[in-house]
Structure 1
Amino acid sequence: MSTAREQLDLFVALVGDVPLRDDKEMMSAPMVSIAKRGQRRIEWEGPSGQQVVITSTEGDDIATIWDFDLVIWAISQLNAAVERDETPAQTISFRPYDLMKSIRWCDSMGRVGGREYERFKAAMNRLRATRIRTTIRRHDRKDRHEDFNLVSDFTFDEIKDADGHARPLGAQITIPTWIYRAVTGSRKEVLSITPLYFDLTSGLDRFLYRLARRHAGNGLNNSDGWAFSFRDLHRRSGSQMRYADFAKALRKAIAAEKIPTYELIEEGGANSDPLLRMRYRKLLL
């Protein structure tokens, strides 16, 4: 049984549909791998000198953009509490079943089974081991270096079913202070995202949607959208693909038109480096 003090330090997750939110700065810089496996390090320097270095404290693969669904869920939960004028604790208590249903980690019938629970635990382990060192939240402190793991702490209780498969009953996740402040601080740094994001099966498509949402916005203030060079996108994605292969994958993504609410258009650029324009497409909302 938890103590009164432990209860005060917990935020009990809301059940049901919660408006989705993502961390604005994490939508613009590489913070996870867009490959499903095999990436152990990412280094990136932004146009203003911002730096990101991503490694695993376990010497294993870093977290993927699919693993990051769990962080998006946590950000959304905290933001929902803030919008109700509450001050949520940094540690969230929840049922893994409810979390996975809300981010569509279930089969075609909407069922959550042993396969999904194993995926959940593996993702949490990678998030817990993924270490970020960065200077991207600069504000007035130009050289502020920050170091954190994508999940600060994670615990869960399990029970074995009749087949001997362990399934989590309840769990707690502690969000790193770096993300927590972005959601709950006076300068909230989160953006809404569409639930259709969870239906994207390509890591590149997910990266492009988040980048478009961050920079092209809702089309009100920048009707022409936002353009990035192919080479800048290659660096921002953190992809291990050769540039030529990345450019080919990018053109396939443009042709497929799977990015929710945004259209992607290739344009000519300087020095034989083509541009990708991201533009809000209202009819897709």
Structure 2
Amino acid sequence: MSRHHHPEQLQLFRALPGDLAPRDAQDLMSYPFFSLAKSKRLVPIDYRVGSIVIRVEAVPEHGMATIWDADVLIWAASQVVEARDLGFQPSRLMAATPYEILNFIGRGVSLRDYNRLKAALDRLQSTTIATSIRQPTERRLHRFSWINEWKERADGNGRALGLELILPDWFYSAVLQDALILTIDRAYFSLTGGLERWLYRLVRKHGGRQHFGWTFELTHLHAKSGSLSPLKHFAYDLREIVRRQSLPGYRLALEEQPRRGAVLCFAPIDGTTFAGSSPTHGKPTTGEKL
């Protein structure tokens, strides 16, 4: 990963110390880019709605990158945004220790956790994405992996010095645009379920924009999740999340509405109640990208 291998002459960016605010990329919060299962997924995600095209493919050796693996991208986005805001020059070529990454995303720091991090990096590097998002036309797809490449660093005596990784331009350019980044609750890292994590990111993406909250039809949510779970099981799992009220900062409710069927309602905890409000429907509207 030496600089002469890269025509654009990437400058190495050393991860910043300290307790940074977690930031997430809105595109990753809105669309089905990751497996929600802890078991290996090889079935591609193929999502097409309007002008939005997303195709995610995995290799048999590693399986598809999961929503837990995406914590590494949240760490990376948080580093890049913080560096930029402090007046430093970030880069797609990043260096950090496993401890720094694992500590930020709320994981343990044992050898087993380190090996799990390496497996996550392998999945992020081997999963391939093709998407029309932020492309001039849906016919022109941007193809990339979540991590272009990564390696373990060591000194001349073989002593471990940490990791280096290169972020893809598609992700990095989104992170550098303020309008495409949101701060998330650190409690997100404590959410254990894949669907629960995905739902928090979707709710955080939309729920913060409307005081009265949003509603989504369950069939629409099912399609947006990319989940392989049948709709019946998906709906059951959603009801369990609503029962637990486990999403930090938001209230959830399930309602039956005429002509729409079962809908999920959500709003910020400090917002008004659902009763008497006019939630914004979570359907794509003219000019809006959901």
Shorter-chain TM band: 0.7 to 0.9
Matched, 1:16 2:18: yes
Report deviation, 1:137: 2.1
Alignment equivalent of 1:214, drawn from 181, 190, 205: 205
Matched, 1:119 2:110: no
Runs ≥4 residues deviating over 4 A: 2-8, 57-60, 140-143
Letter in 2 for 1:178: W
Report deviation, 1:57: 4.3
Q: Deviations over 1:104-154 (max 9, x none)?
A: 111xxxxx111101101100000000111111224x545441111011111
Structure 2 Cα separation of the partners of residues 134 and 8 of structure 1 = 25
What is the alpha-carbon root mean square deviation over aligned residues?
2.5
Report deviation, 1:87: 2.9
Matched, 1:128 2:125: yes
Contact 2:217–2:261 (CA under 8 A) maintained in structure 1: yes
Contact 2:53–2:138 (CA under 8 A) maintained in structure 1: no
Alignment equivalent of 2:233, drawn from 242, 245, 253: 245
Letter in 2 for 1:197: Y
Identity of matched residues, % = 34
Structure 2 equivalent of residue 97 of structure 1: 99
Structure 1 Cα separation of the partners of residues 64 and 32 of structure 2 = 12
Structure 1 equivalent of residue 66 of structure 2: 64
Alignment equivalent of 1:82, drawn from 58, 66, 84: 84
Contact 1:19–1:76 (CA under 8 A) maintained in structure 2: yes
Letter in 2 for 1:176: P
Structure 2 equivalent of residue 232 of structure 1: 220
Structure 1 Cα separation of the partners of residues 253 and 159 of structure 2 = 45
Matched, 1:31 2:33: yes
Gaps of 5+ in 2: 272-290
Alignment equivalent of 1:260, drawn from 214, 225, 248: 248
SS for the counterpart of 1:215 is: helix
Contact 1:158–1:168 (CA under 8 A) maintained in structure 2: yes
Report deviation, 1:188: 4.3
Structure 1 equivalent of residue 176 of structure 2: 184
Gaps of 5+ in 1: 107-111, 160-165
Q: Deviations over 1:153-188 (max 9, x none)?
A: 1111369xxxxxx99541011111001101124x64
Structure 2 Cα separation of the partners of residues 26 and 273 of structure 1 = 27
Structure 1 equivalent of residue 195 of structure 2: 204
Q: Taking structure 1 as reference, are residues 84 and 39 closer, same or farther at Cα in structure 2, changes over 3 Å only?
A: same
Structure 2 equivalent of residue 154 of structure 1: 150
Mean CA deviation greater in 10-19 or 143-152: 143-152
Structure 2 Cα separation of the partners of residues 158 and 8 of structure 1 = 20
Report deviation, 1:11: 0.5
Structure 2 equivalent of residue 162 of structure 1: none
Q: Taking structure 1 as reference, are residues 15 and 273 closer, same or farther at Cα in structure 2, changes over 3 Å only?
A: same
SS for the counterpart of 2:89 is: coil
Alignment TM-score, normalising by the size of structure 1: 0.86
Contact 2:26–2:205 (CA under 8 A) maintained in structure 1: yes
Matched, 1:42 2:45: yes
Structure 1 equivalent of residue 280 of structure 2: none
SS for the counterpart of 1:196 is: helix
Letter in 2 for 1:91: L
Q: Taking structure 1 as reference, are residues 93 and 73 closer, same or farther at Cα in structure 2, changes over 3 Å only?
A: same
Task: Give the count of matched residue pairs.
Answer: 265
